[in-house]
Structure 1
Amino acid sequence: MTQRRMPSGQGPARRPGRASRPTQRVRVRDTASTRVEPRATAKAARPVAARRTAATKSAVKRTVAPRPKAFTGRAAVLVGLLVALVLAYTYPVRTYLAQESQIAKMKAAQDAQRAVIAEKAQEVAKWQDPVYVGDQARARLFYVRPGEIPLIVLNDPEGAARDAGKTPAAAPPDKWYDTLWSSVEAANTEPK
């Protein structure tokens, strides 16, 4: 009787007509004598199929179960659905991230404006003080209080050298690119 194989390639768990597997194998020879042979050790154990063919001495035709496809129709639908979801969510996510960056920029601009407002408020508070206003008038407009003599220092090194009777310092020579440009301009002018 030919037994049907499972898709995994293994035979059924129990063989019909047998209660359990014996611990020793009995071989029947053509002679009338029977001999009990001990079971093979684990090192010399053969696979189940090889032992079965060796025991029956007949070739058993193996049937190969078809392998399931690696990429089924359900998997294709699932991948298509995931791609559609990713494409559907990209625009809203991009819009959300753009709005978040705009909000962050606006908050930074507000903080900068608040800092400028605080500086201006401190400056206005300074101008409310009459001592500060007087100091600014003396520094910027050269105002003096009654009884003070104003002294204005002018920075005129050439005039100071003339008054001291010294010759003024010679001007530093022109830069090389100024000399080059003046020669280009001189070559460009036409004689009259």
Structure 2
Amino acid sequence: MKKRPQLTGRAAILAVVVCAIAMSLAYPIREYVAQRRQIAQLERQQAQALKELAELSERTKQLDDPAYIRQQARVRLHYCGTAEKCYVVRDSARQGDTRPKAGATPRAKSPWYQTLWESIEAADRGDGRRVEAGRTPAP
């Protein structure tokens, strides 16, 4: 009995062909997976952009409403209508512990627009000193 070789010529050619097919398919499959990953990422970005667009369009509708504009002017700018009496109640408990320390003189805090104007005046003078809130700079 003659012993057969374990690897015949046909089997070697078949192995080479299978390896060639596998290697020729490896790059396209890798590109396909990368493209699918990129498509998924772009779909997530598109969903996020659509969500932001919906929020902005809702905000645009809100800003087109005159009642909302009046309400925001009252809240943010302390705006009063012509026939209204408005009061601003300051609650120190809501703002935290703002009690002055013993021996300290209480200082009234000026509104933001006064501080802004004082800083503009200081910049015009060019003296480079900072203006603290509630204080008028010395000439």
Q: TM-score range by the shorter chain?
A: 0.5 to 0.7
CA distance, structure 1, for counterparts of residue 96 and residue 11 of structure 2: 91
| Alignment match, 1:188 | none
**Pairing 1:46-57 to 2, within 5 Å after superposition:** none
Q: Cα 1:72–1:156, aligned 2, differ >3 Å: closer, same or farther?
A: closer
Q: Does 1:128 align with 2:69?
A: no
Higher RCO by CA contacts (8 Å cutoff, separation 6 or greater): 2
Q: Does 1:88 align with 2:1?
A: no
CA distance, structure 2, for counterparts of residue 119 and residue 86 of structure 1: 49
**Which of 148, 166, 171 does residue 85 from structure 2 map onto?**
148
Q: Which runs of 5+ in 1 are unaligned?
A: 1-64, 169-192
> CA offset at residue 124 of structure 1?
0.8
Percent of counterpart pairs with the same letter? 28
CA distance, structure 1, for counterparts of residue 13 and residue 78 of structure 2: 87
| Alignment match, 1:105 | 41
Q: Does 1:137 align with 2:36?
A: no
> CA offset at residue 149 of structure 1?
2.5
CA distance, structure 1, for counterparts of residue 17 and residue 97 of structure 2: 85
In structure 1, what residue type is equivalent to 2:44?
Answer: A
CA distance, structure 2, for counterparts of residue 138 and residue 78 of structure 1: 84
Contact 1:144–1:150 (Cα < 8 Å) also in 2: no
Q: Which runs of 5+ in 2 are unaligned?
A: 105-139
1:42-88 CA-to-partner distances (Å, cap 9, x unmatched) read: xxxxxxxxxxxxxxxxxxxxxxx113222111111111111111111
User: What stretches of structure 1 move > 3 A for 4+ residues in a row?
Assistant: 154-158
**Pairing 1:37-52 to 2, within 5 Å after superposition:** none
* Higher share of residues assigned helix: 2
Q: TM-score, normalised by structure 2?
A: 0.63
* Higher share of residues assigned strand: 1
> CA offset at residue 101 of structure 1?
1.1
Contact 1:138–1:144 (Cα < 8 Å) also in 2: yes
The count of corresponding residues between Structure 1 and Structure 2 is: 100
Contact 1:126–1:132 (Cα < 8 Å) also in 2: yes
